[in-house]
Amino acid sequence: MVPRSAFPAVLASSLLLLTLPGCGAEPRARAAAPAADHTVVTAGTLRPGQAIPAPTGTVVLTLRGAITRHNGPDGTLRFDMRTLERIGLAEWTGSDAVATGRTRVRFRGVLLRRLLQVAGARPGARTLRAAALNDYKVTIPVADATRLPVLLATTADGRRMSVARYGPTRVVYPFGKVPGLQPTVYDPRSIWQVASIEVR
């Protein structure tokens, strides 16, 4: 008869046996795959190649420069919030030390790289010159948008952002989500109250 105290050990070893067949090359490959850096919330109904309707509501973003889609004067592409969010929404939770100081904020918005695709950014485009409502300006490499889930966020923790709360749109980098983002480099690129982006 097996003593009562031996039962946990028996149970543990049989569990080990059950899991052993899964411990080969496949799980190791799975562990090596990077974790998803964003979650897709809505795929979007406005796709690259489609015409972008002129805004009917308040303009929240103006693009210009090396883009092939236009719907406003002087080669501009203007978005109201509804049309902007039709590009599709993604989200991740990260640190907002740069602005509100909160450590876990769920940012949701349009992936910057998807916005550029939908705007028809020219393949040679290398930089984005972003300007805020307060005239703060910063240059963002297009490569940031390509390699990171940089969002033009339209909500934080499920809420619209007023201008007083860094909105209506904010460029957010995945601090605390993607490791290794140096504040000296990426804090200045975290532009809030975004008014316009010139693609260069």
Ligand X SMILES: Nc1nc2c(c(=O)[nH]1)N[C@H]1C(S)=C(S)[C@@H](COP(=O)(O)O)O[C@H]1N2
Q: Which residues bind Mo ion (CB under 5 A)?
A: 188
Of 21-29, 45-53, 60-68, 185-193, the window that binds ligand X (rule: CB under 6 A) is 185-193
For residue 40, what are the β-bridge partners? 90
Q: Toward Mo ion, which CB reaches closer, 154 or 193?
A: 193
Q: Toward ligand X, which CB reaches closer, 110 or 118?
A: 110
Query: Which of the choices ligand X, Mo ion, none does residue 140 contact, using the CB cut-off of 5 to 8 A by kind?
Result: none
Tell me: does residue 191 bind ligand X (CB under 6 A): yes
91 DSSP 8-state letter: E
Distances (CA, A) of 67 to 40, 74, 80, 145, 178: 25, 12, 18, 16, 29
Residue 33 backbone phi and psi in degrees, to 5: -70, 135
Tell me: does residue 175 bind ligand X (CB under 6 A): no
Looking at 149, 193, 196, 197, which residue binds ligand X (CB under 6 A)? 193
Tell me: does residue 134 bind ligand X (CB under 6 A): yes
CB of 96 to ligand X, least distance (A): 11
- Dihedral of the CA atoms 195, 191, 133, 157 (nearest 10)? 80
Cβ-Cβ contacts under 8 Å for 171 (sequence gap 6 or more): 112, 130, 140, 150, 151, 152, 153, 189, 190, 191, 192, 194
Please give the residue ranges that form the binding site for ligand X (CB under 6 A). 98, 132, 134, 136, 187-188, 190-193
